[in-house]
Structure 1
């Protein structure tokens, strides 16, 4: 399975692509899509959309993962980030890809082992999990971490499915027994 991770931002959207086969992860590529901060908002969103499309055309992912944005203190910044996130969700969905969404704490816990890891800790673990990976910057490191998180979650889903068990039903059944 080839996974595209997207760390959305209006100015810079980080992207990272990995191949996952079971628990084996391999770095494919990573980078950043930028928009012209002097352009109108609609034009910047089109730039992000086209940039993600170009990455998808070049890397041919099977699935995508996008970070869930948390609110900022500045409402205008939060709104713009939400629009960039919408483009990051929409573009792979339009191409027919399954798109997973993950909170930053879940990504950090999946990659580092703690939900309160620093950016430096995330980058260090991404490099450990993807030997030989040359990370372009913090945004692409976060995108690779998202792809890793998604790959781990999808593998867990597959194991549950192969066992014939529905994870949601198992969780509900366990809750009723207590």
Structure 2
């Protein structure tokens, strides 16, 4: 799916989203209580990769490394926030088969239950928490919702972009209760 996240497609998506006045429904920001010496340090790209590896690790019962243990409070905080909106089951790092002009992709988390029957969550590790989700992240999560709709034959899908900031010791999640308009915009952009 990464192939379709081009500057042109993101610009067209952004213009249509603004024109149709599609915005997130609500935002949840949570503090992560950890001591300064327990805050993961390093390059954002490497921290992001390590956090996504930790997402995958939730499926196994093997012991966590020291670095994974440092990241665990952020993951737990994010999962609690998702459960607070009704999430029943969280499946991390799910491969979704391609559909139409969308190639296959790997959604960070597929959520069963919550704001609708199914949810797709994209997780981004950032230095500073944004006030609004980035357009390419919205395009990406809307694309995953299109793929999830086909893979799970479910039309009631909510989406969220979760930002994890180790430095700020916070997690911020932008929620869309429904994704039909976002999915429609992605389909229109890819059909153009």
Superposition TM-score, scaled by structure 2 size: 0.27
Superposition TM-score, scaled by structure 1 size: 0.29
Structure with bigger strand share is: 2
